[in-house]
Structure 1
Amino acid sequence: MAQQRMLKFVKLGKEMPEKREAKERATDFNEIYAEFAAQKANEQASRCSQCGVPYCQAHCPLGNNIPDWLRLTAEGRLQEAYETSQATNTFPEICGRICPQDRLCEGNCVIEQSGHGTVTIGAIEKYVTDTAWDMGWVKPIRPAVERAESVGIIGSGPGGMAAADALRRAGVKVTVYERSDRAGGLLTYGIPGFKLEKDVVMKRVDQLAQAGVEFVLNCNVGVDITFDAIRQKHDAVLIATGVYKVRELREPGADAKGIVRALDYLTASNKLSFGDTVPEVEDGTLDARGKNVVVIGGGDTAMDCVRTAIRQGAASVKCLYRRDRENMPGSQREVQNAEEEGVEFVWLAAPVGFDGTPVKSVRVQRMRLGAPDKSGRRSPEPVEGALYDEPAELVVQALGFEPEDLPKLWNTDGLEVTRWGTLRADARHATSMPGVFAVGDIVRGASLVVWAIRDGREAAQSILELLARRAEVAAE
């Protein structure tokens, strides 16, 4: 009977939740997709082919048991579907919204490869978990036993929160040190509300706080508290700071007023969504209203910036990327959404200078793709004589992020780093310092939220094993 509810991809076509019209959604920061209705979610889940070797699961960093919770959804067993999803994913409602499913689970769906259109895995994951919150199936964290050991976590982004969740469920005391005024890290201030509404993140933060996790906000490690003090206070430490050092433009005129960093721009916009007063928006520094805006970069951060500028009322928004559409690192789904909202993409274009202060224009060099580089990607090279000026009163640099020099910032010599500046950690997420672990982008370099969640869950297990070994030694 259960199998009869599945394998319906030959009769039912792929459908996404209804997407709000571009003109409407471009005026606010609300999410652009509606929720699936129950019947539609069940129908779309029933399209799963229940593969013997599920490529969707194999290509999910968390190894989510996707076929099982799709089957449960198709059968109307939503609470069980949620529990199956939550068993491997700390924040399924967040991943359902912001994971690049087109590059991970959905992009490797077998029925997609056979020409039937992928199962809409992300939208169903979001629907199942949102329903779980509404129905009260998301239970408070209540450890069976409270333990004496404590763990300090530096950074409250997805990796830090995932570890905090697992550790509290095991009864360990957890303190999270966060340099911003709100917890959530990238989820709170780095991702716009039209992709991830902030109440979704705050519900998880509140769940952790109600479980006894202590959040120490506005706490800059190395300034407000030393790293050594944190180590002395806790039985183990987890570093989950992410990477926030911006790759800066180096072209002539790049220091002009009006050329801003992507993270500053996105953070200011997200603070407004919380109702905060943001002086840099009020004085126009981080406000695109009425301006010709140029965003430089081709990743998901650049996509967030161009779509934010549209919503702020920019006169025009253009995105410059030095390669072509097929070779950009950002999600193609996000590119399509941006184009629908009025963003113009200028492919094979790179800045070579800026005029005016405040900035008035970007000097643009036309590019072409040459021979492949060491990574196998064709390298962009300039087209001789193909230069022009692009008007711009606001330029947002979204060239990616690099790790901060934590050993220097924290005045500690024991933390080993790689040649890329990331922290060196082994397969169990242990660093060169005893009792100190590290996860997420500070180890991997700029990566996906889902990888940080996986790292956080694994590191929590490693920490629990370390605490157990210490307890055994102490008992001998």
Structure 2
Amino acid sequence: MASRLLKFFKIAHEPPHVRDAGERICDFDEISDEFIREKAAEQASRCSQCGIPFCQSHCPLGNHIPDWLQLAAEGRVREAYEVSAATNPMPEVCGRVCPQDRLCEGNCVVEKAGFGTVTIGAVERWLTDTAVKEGWIAPIAPEIERGESVAIVGAGPAGMAAAERLRRAGFQVTVLDRYDRAGGLMIYGIPNFKLDKSIPARRHEALREGGVRFALGWELGRDGTIADLRRSHDAVILAFGAYAARRLDLPGEAGMEPVAALDFLTASNRKGLGDAVPGFEAGELNAHAKKVVVVGGGDTAMDCVRTAVRQGAASVTCLYRRGRDTMPGSAREVKHAEAEGVTFQWLSAPARIGEGHIEVQPMKLDMSAGGRGTVLPDEGPVWRLEADMVIEALGFSPEDAAAMAGGARIELTRRGTVKADPKTFETGEPGVYAAGDLVRGPSLVVWALKDAITVSDAIVRRFANAREPA
């Protein structure tokens, strides 16, 4: 079988075909075509099967990437899927939204050798999509039913992944979420062109069919407290993410209020799902025919600029106070955005919002302290950029979990995140755990999934010998 591998010097790097920018900006469909089986196997065969798999060590989940690439190259597709799914609760999501260029693919030995990375993310996505089509994914069927119940607050990646893992272990699981659909940012934050909404919806349905109960439209603090949940369940997991938007604090004239990125993205996603969205219809959350300026340099900013383009904005500009090489977002996303007509103004920060414009302060980087450098105002003159809509994509902070504790002992760090044991994610309140962005701060889906595994396994261990299963 070795002859089917190590072909990186014979076969060129070839990711899935990306639709032409002029075509893809006319809809919200995913931008990449699907791999055919032969192409996926061919690209998987480029893996060098190196002795130290840096792709695996740079994956937060520690996915056994060389193993499932080898199986895919050999045509053993079902086995490849099973190996992929053994360590990743949502491979079809990670294959689409993970910044592979910063993680597995960016650290691929073949990439470092100058041959172009192995298309790990595309093969990962293809394996699970194939498993769905072929009916290989078995429904949740616990070997035993336990009597312990677990409440999970938040139906995003961490909450859904923890629910699946605990349900497979036989626990009685209830997931509570403020929204009317399960999926969290996978539904309302990430645009459809990156993650089709049928994918998290399919996960929700599979969990429901497997016995996980959902209480949607339930909001912590309004409908109950952490202490209330702890009294009625054997364990509680807080996984409601980081939704508090960081806002610009700028002087400005009356007439143009900045729009929070999540408000803008949620309105767009709801519109795509067929919901009535008054703010969109009124134009407040709709970029159509407007000169749009997005402030920020992360993946949320990229989601905003690319959404604005698809809504028919007259122009879209991204202001980022650092340079291209130091921005936190995926370089691949920047490349897609540029192809779709987005203008980037590097080393630029907003100074003042005016009527129909935004004043921009040139910036510079002081690299004397190392790292990403210190951002300082440049001596260049402040200049004006025309704008009808300014979107703040400055990141998010966790909501105040302690304020919703209801007497439970929930402590916060100086950053506002929930303080939890790093090995188990248990908080200061026995039996109450936290995971994902609520503990880490704003981070990647793949880290939320890693936390879900950690916290679920900690709960399983806690009750392993507590009492006999029902």
TM-score category, normalised to shorter length: over 0.9
Between 300-309 and 273-282, the greater mean CA deviation after superposition: 273-282
Q: CA RMSD in A?
A: 1.3
Shift of the alpha carbon at 1:256?
A: 5.1
Query: 1:345-360 to 2 correspondence within 5 Å?
Result: 345-356=344-355, 360=356
1:376 equivalent in alignment to 2:375: no
Separation (CA, whole Å) in 1 of partners of 2:367 and 2:251: 27
- Out of 355, 362, 380, the position equivalent to 1:366 is 362
Partner of 1:422: 417
Partner of 1:437: 433
Query: 1:296-315 to 2 correspondence within 5 Å?
Result: 296-315=295-314
Separation (CA, whole Å) in 2 of partners of 1:454 and 1:193: 24
Q: TM-score, structure 1 length as denominator?
A: 0.96
Residues 12 and 116 in structure 2, CA contact (< 8 A), matched pair in contact too: yes
SS of corresponding position for 1:9: coil
Separation (CA, whole Å) in 1 of partners of 2:30 and 2:286: 21
SS of corresponding position for 1:142: coil
Shift of the alpha carbon at 1:413?
A: 5.3
Separation (CA, whole Å) in 2 of partners of 1:176 and 1:125: 27
1:265 equivalent in alignment to 2:260: no
1:84 equivalent in alignment to 2:80: no
Amino acid of the residue matched to residue 259 of structure 1? P
Shift of the alpha carbon at 1:141?
A: 0.7
Shift of the alpha carbon at 1:226?
A: 2.3
Shift of the alpha carbon at 1:95?
A: 0.3
Provide Cα deviations, 1:187-225, integer angstroms capped at 9, x if missing partner: 111100000000011111110011111111111111112
Provide Cα deviations, 1:302-327, integer angstroms capped at 9, x if missing partner: 00000000000000000000011111
Provide Cα deviations, 1:363-412, integer angstroms capped at 9, x if missing partner: 10111112445x72211211224111111111100000111111113443
Shift of the alpha carbon at 1:288?
A: 0.3
Separation (CA, whole Å) in 1 of partners of 2:260 and 2:97: 22
Shift of the alpha carbon at 1:117?
A: 0.8
Shift of the alpha carbon at 1:293?
A: 0.1
Shift of the alpha carbon at 1:233?
A: 1.1
Amino acid of the residue matched to residue 380 of structure 1? V
Between 45-54 and 411-420, the greater mean CA deviation after superposition: 411-420
Partner of 1:20: 19
Separation (CA, whole Å) in 1 of partners of 2:218 and 2:224: 7
Shift of the alpha carbon at 1:145?
A: 1.2
Separation (CA, whole Å) in 2 of partners of 1:167 and 1:372: 49
Provide Cα deviations, 1:431-463, integer angstroms capped at 9, x if missing partner: 111001111111011111001001101111100
Provide Cα deviations, 1:53-105, integer angstroms capped at 9, x if missing partner: 11111111111000110011011111100000000001100000000000110
Partner of 1:235: 234
Residues 408 and 429 in structure 2, CA contact (< 8 A), matched pair in contact too: no
Query: 1:173-212 to 2 correspondence within 5 Å?
Result: 173-212=172-211
C-alpha spacing 1:254/1:325, structure 2 compared with 1 (3 Å):
farther
Partner of 1:105: 104
Separation (CA, whole Å) in 1 of partners of 2:256 and 2:250: 14
C-alpha spacing 1:208/1:372, structure 2 compared with 1 (3 Å):
farther
Provide Cα deviations, 1:214-251, integer angstroms capped at 9, x if missing partner: 11111111111222221111100001011111111001
1:404 equivalent in alignment to 2:399: yes
Q: What 5-or-longer segments of structure 1 have no aligned partner?
A: none
Between 57-66 and 406-415, the greater mean CA deviation after superposition: 406-415
Separation (CA, whole Å) in 2 of partners of 1:35 and 1:254: 48
Residues 362 and 381 in structure 2, CA contact (< 8 A), matched pair in contact too: yes
Shift of the alpha carbon at 1:258?
A: 4.2
Identity of aligned residues (%): 55
Partner of 2:291: 292
Separation (CA, whole Å) in 2 of partners of 1:199 and 1:289: 26
Partner of 1:319: 318
Separation (CA, whole Å) in 1 of partners of 2:291 and 2:169: 52
C-alpha spacing 1:255/1:424, structure 2 compared with 1 (3 Å):
farther
Query: 1:97-246 to 2 correspondence within 5 Å?
Result: 97-246=96-245
Shift of the alpha carbon at 1:468?
A: 1.9
Amino acid of the residue matched to residue 444 of structure 1? R
Q: What 5-or-longer segments of structure 2 have no aligned partner?
A: none
Q: TM-score, structure 2 length as denominator?
A: 0.97
Partner of 2:390: 395
Shift of the alpha carbon at 1:254?
A: 8.1
Residues 149 and 233 in structure 2, CA contact (< 8 A), matched pair in contact too: yes
Separation (CA, whole Å) in 2 of partners of 1:110 and 1:385: 42
Amino acid of the residue matched to residue 468 of structure 1? A
Separation (CA, whole Å) in 1 of partners of 2:349 and 2:282: 29
Provide Cα deviations, 1:346-367, integer angstroms capped at 9, x if missing partner: 00100011112xxx11110111
Separation (CA, whole Å) in 2 of partners of 1:24 and 1:14: 24
Provide Cα deviations, 1:155-190, integer angstroms capped at 9, x if missing partner: 011111110000010110100110011111111111
Separation (CA, whole Å) in 1 of partners of 2:349 and 2:33: 37
SS of corresponding position for 2:378: strand
Amino acid of the residue matched to residue 376 of structure 1? G
Partner of 2:56: 57
Separation (CA, whole Å) in 2 of partners of 1:145 and 1:371: 58
Amino acid of the residue matched to residue 366 of structure 1? P
Partner of 1:10: 9
Amino acid of the residue matched to residue 371 of structure 2? G
C-alpha spacing 1:139/1:10, structure 2 compared with 1 (3 Å):
same
Amino acid of the residue matched to residue 61 of structure 2? L
Amino acid of the residue matched to residue 30 of structure 1? D
Give the length in aligned residue pairs: 468
Partner of 2:34: 35
Shift of the alpha carbon at 1:37?
A: 1.0
C-alpha spacing 1:419/1:169, structure 2 compared with 1 (3 Å):
same
SS of corresponding position for 1:151: strand
Amino acid of the residue matched to residue 442 of structure 1? L
Residues 258 and 285 in structure 1, CA contact (< 8 A), matched pair in contact too: no
